[in-house]
Structure 1
């Protein structure tokens, strides 16, 4: 679906009619598989040949249409809706338009929740050929004041379609269509952790085009308690893991960040990751002490493994098969469960080893697989309820004051779920908005009228607690869920979900890495290109 956002070229999916994978691959004989594959190959070849032939015969028209789309964008003209039957079968149900704002503003300074997320978003826009400018002075638009250096995306530009699809909130299309093929709503503006404002007035300020976001790293003069590093995004979590890997201990402050000692290399980390170190006073709260990069045994999807690895966690892949084959739990702080691990399918030895870990270790679980693990392992007293499996989109959430505090109030869900019947000691870390939780996407009730948005409204989407075995446990109900930014535990309990490292006897580098072949790595991430902009000096 990338091509249509560039302009005049539409996009369509050609479905192959003959299945040759999954169970059919094992069930059918070779001759039948070859027959089916030949049909699919012929369809693919016909599609490619017809497309290339059309482009060759109509290349002047296609280029002209593309230029016209760019011209309309630069002029800020209204979208043009084709007449019905301009191609056979085209009707009102095929008309999907939007209202473009006059501009988007990505503020900086105190008006921006996450400077690193804002810089990442700006760089992403530029990489996709969206024109971004930076204001040379403070300005006011629609009654709101923005500081100098704020980014402006003027929507009178050729690729306004690309800019808008990345930044707009989107809308709820549940009443417009019966079912959706796949992801129905997404918003980088709401989900990437940066504050983004759509405005209907022209932004009247002197601004210059930018080719890369400005540096964001800064270091205030250390306070009596060292520095505070707020974990507002993936860059901050990566910086924290880098700090822990260097042998520096930190302490959770109970409000979404950590206290970093004054002898730490704050300037180097700010340069590498673009993060901000603020002064911490001696009276600032400090909770559980964390030392060493957390080691995570992960039963998760490839994208989850990639994300946690990018943030510098030490990862060890596990599954039902891996645990039954024998797994060394020594040195593991946290078990992450979202796919591939079924507690009931473990043999007696593997289950005993896992139960021994659960007596002390932390667990983070997500979706149907995580909720099933919770129930079968007898951890937290909570019941998961489910919506339709195809429901998905951007939802409003109440982030509370715990682990997910400050993450922006929005999340993406696919196959939404929620928790009810919470037992004693089970805390709600995040819940769906009380009214109309879906911002953008498709979420209908099932054929019996159950599982709709109204059923989920106000219900818990993420819960946590200390299980009977003693381990700290967090569970996310949506089958796919991402808070606005990755956030480590706030450390409100003696056992944060990310796992304060406990003593270990495993051998290896620094005496803590257990035997095995971790797929993650404890390493310094490459520079984000913001080194020249690190600032240090008096706070304020």
Structure 2
């Protein structure tokens, strides 16, 4: 069934049944509607608006809430990985059982429950049978950044409705021949921001209850495999290896930040049995919630009370500060605004200082943002704002990302306040992004944030003359202050009169292309960098590796960027047949690619490689660098200090500024190359993440330039999942250079 047929069926069923309400909660990357179906008795009354009002009452007046009429919200998120279609099909089956067959056993569960069903969280992925969305993003890795429209829609629904239980339906996993499928909770370590004692108290019993519900009905399945099951695989109980919930970029783990019992569910297989297995998961969860509803309500009330009163499990060790201070720099407030806007959209209360104040011998101006940590959504705030922890030591199971600090990776200063803070504040109900244009032209822009690069790109596209000084500042040679003020409105930037620059370079628009990954290993590895370029205002042409066999493809291109896995330039004999569509077909095509790229560089084109995968392919098979490439384990990652050396490539960064790595790489044998950045040698340079053996990379080059800056290797993952925007300017520098 294609997505249009799903839409038509949903609309038809909603018209037929008093138990269904159909609402649009957002759009996909290409503009398709995202649908949410509310399922309960009297669905017109007990809809999403009711859920949001009830959630607000639960947070602001919990005692009154416990005495009032209530419906228990359970949210079901289906098929966020588009190729895992069973989730959507199972929810449709559930809806049909209610709307058409009026199943009495299900209707009995709806007396006190509202099912909030996101029918298909990734319509484009379903249509294309891919894990990722139309922009190439794995949406189940996007719930901290929320860079994609689909993720924003689901996150907003969670933040506003505060479901007691959140089920994220996936597939297809089998860890044990008899315990088929998978139901969380997970193995340690657990994110210390979670109120894990409250979660674990109910997540594990619920998993066992769902398991029993399925096993008690195993004779209704068709295959012997399902009929012979002894249970489901529950990592918390059954795993000795990692199945972690540390990162809140997963949908279910993001829901945990809001007090939900967030659970990822992995169906065993596709087909009718897999669909029926997920159907029983949903009914089993409803049975559990129905039986435990008063205790579950008290559990989430306890969660919010802990936030409001700062009574967290780790509070004795001072884990949660009293507040965070987020200054608003005069030159460029856009990174601070980005963080604050994100916090507010995720339900965090933000305040603003009414007067200047002093804290820790530092002066903060009127308008400084304060994030108090005595609030119900303190867990959300602290998860987003803390610097993270070093998980590299000891025996732990980390299977994905564990470092993501928004202030560090978005370029905003953020100061945790351990002591009391005596400053009068005003709640921020709506974010107003201030900007300043003063004096007479030409004007100077001192920032190199994403907002400033985007602003410069907009001016260049309109034919405005812009120069870059020797110290990296932008000089805008325009004299109409009123016109510039309109252009700068809402940016957070400051433009002021510029003194004549002794040495400067005239910027021009650059034609940029990026090498396209069409889906190696269920992902599009270039997607984050592509979107980062677009966010900065660059027009980007995507080129499949096979298209590079034609020299004409690079005829009008100034900069070619490779930000992908090393296998993009592998031959079919080295890659699984399922990925052959994404790579070259033959030795002849590889040779032609080498000739095209070599000729491009020789005529003055610039080739930028980002990350370990690109560096490896640029070394071999492309043979475009003599620098040695050293890499570590593919799952290692970190936020750390980088020693940025003085160079036009590092404008805006200094020794000790932040970097981010994923699948770490460093360079050796750099004779003949200019080293412009190295890993810091400082003892405390590792800030957060998981990288055992990081010491061997300390002091080693992580960014080099060769052939008169025509081949640039950047070992940092500057476009990773469209997240580390503080590092985007490294790419802009390399393009402008």
Same fold (TM over 0.5): yes
Q: Would the alpha carbon gap of residues 4 and 373 (structure 1) be closer, same or farther in structure 2, given more than 3 Å must change?
A: same
1:53 to 280, 287, 308: 287
Show the counterpart of 1:6: 258
Show the counterpart of 1:476: 714
Matching of residue 497 in structure 1 with residue 734 in structure 2: yes
Could you list the per-position Cα deviations for residues 125-169 of structure 1 after superposition, in whole angstroms to 9, with x for gaps in the alignment? 111111110001011123322111100011111111011001011
Note the C-alpha offset of 1:285. 3.0
SS at match of 2:340: helix
Note the C-alpha offset of 1:196. 0.6
Show the counterpart of 2:594: 351
1:105 to 325, 343, 359: 325
Matching of residue 189 in structure 1 with residue 388 in structure 2: no
Matching of residue 323 in structure 1 with residue 548 in structure 2: yes
Contact 2:675/2:705 (<8 A) preserved = yes
Could you list the per-position Cα deviations for residues 230-280 of structure 1 after superposition, in whole angstroms to 9, with x for gaps in the alignment? 343111111111111101232221323322103364323211533222322
Note the C-alpha offset of 1:461. 1.9
Show the counterpart of 2:561: 336
Contact 1:489/1:497 (<8 A) preserved = yes
Show the counterpart of 1:253: 469
Note the C-alpha offset of 1:348. 4.3
Note the C-alpha offset of 1:103. 0.7
Where do 5+ consecutive residues of structure 1 fail to align?
Answer: 19-35, 82-95, 445-451, 491-495, 501-540
Show the counterpart of 2:697: 456
Distance in 2 of aligned mates of 1:430 and 1:232: 21
Show the counterpart of 1:212: 430
Task: Judge which range, 410-419 or 238-247, deviates more.
Answer: 410-419
Matching of residue 486 in structure 1 with residue 728 in structure 2: yes
Q: Would the alpha carbon gap of residues 166 and 295 (structure 1) be closer, same or farther in structure 2, given more than 3 Å must change?
A: same
SS at match of 2:560: strand
Task: Judge which range, 326-335 or 68-77, deviates more.
Answer: 326-335
TM-score (norm 2): 0.57
Distance in 2 of aligned mates of 1:483 and 1:422: 28
Show the counterpart of 2:652: 406
Where do 5+ consecutive residues of structure 2 fail to align?
Answer: 1-252, 517-524, 572-583
SS at match of 1:130: coil
Q: Would the alpha carbon gap of residues 48 and 400 (structure 1) be closer, same or farther in structure 2, given more than 3 Å must change?
A: farther
Contact 2:646/2:676 (<8 A) preserved = no
Matching of residue 384 in structure 1 with residue 622 in structure 2: no
Query: As a proportion of its length, which structure holds more helix?
Result: 2
1:285 to 503, 508, 511: 503
Contact 1:238/1:311 (<8 A) preserved = yes
1:63 to 284, 297, 300: 297
Q: Would the alpha carbon gap of residues 363 and 432 (structure 1) be closer, same or farther in structure 2, given more than 3 Å must change?
A: farther
Contact 1:238/1:312 (<8 A) preserved = yes
Distance in 1 of aligned mates of 2:359 and 2:660: 30
Task: Judge which range, 119-128 or 259-268, deviates more.
Answer: 259-268
Note the C-alpha offset of 1:315. 0.8
Task: Judge which range, 134-143 or 417-426, deviates more.
Answer: 417-426
Distance in 2 of aligned mates of 1:192 and 1:323: 34
Q: Would the alpha carbon gap of residues 489 and 129 (structure 1) be closer, same or farther in structure 2, given more than 3 Å must change?
A: closer
Distance in 1 of aligned mates of 2:401 and 2:472: 30
Note the C-alpha offset of 1:350. 4.1
Matching of residue 133 in structure 1 with residue 351 in structure 2: yes
Mapping of residues 213-232 of structure 1, within 5 Å: 213-222=431-440, 226-232=442-448
Q: Would the alpha carbon gap of residues 177 and 17 (structure 1) be closer, same or farther in structure 2, given more than 3 Å must change?
A: farther
Could you list the per-position Cα deviations for residues 458-482 of structure 1 after superposition, in whole angstroms to 9, with x for gaps in the alignment? 22222223x1xx5523212246754
Distance in 1 of aligned mates of 2:490 and 2:513: 24
Contact 2:289/2:296 (<8 A) preserved = yes
Q: Would the alpha carbon gap of residues 74 and 471 (structure 1) be closer, same or farther in structure 2, given more than 3 Å must change?
A: closer
Note the C-alpha offset of 1:52. 2.3
TM-score (norm 1): 0.76
Distance in 2 of aligned mates of 1:157 and 1:137: 22
Distance in 1 of aligned mates of 2:285 and 2:428: 37
Could you list the per-position Cα deviations for residues 186-211 of structure 1 after superposition, in whole angstroms to 9, with x for gaps in the alignment? 11021111111111112211110002
Could you list the per-position Cα deviations for residues 378-425 of structure 1 after superposition, in whole angstroms to 9, with x for gaps in the alignment? 444321211211112322222333323434822332211111221224
SS at match of 2:407: helix
Could you list the per-position Cα deviations for residues 481-523 of structure 1 after superposition, in whole angstroms to 9, with x for gaps in the alignment? 5462421568xxxxx62146xxxxxxxxxxxxxxxxxxxxxxx
Show the counterpart of 1:149: 367
Note the C-alpha offset of 1:304. 1.9
Say how many residue pairs are matched.
448
Contact 1:220/1:277 (<8 A) preserved = yes
Q: Which has the higher contact order (CA 8 A, sep 6+)?
A: 1
Contact 1:418/1:478 (<8 A) preserved = no
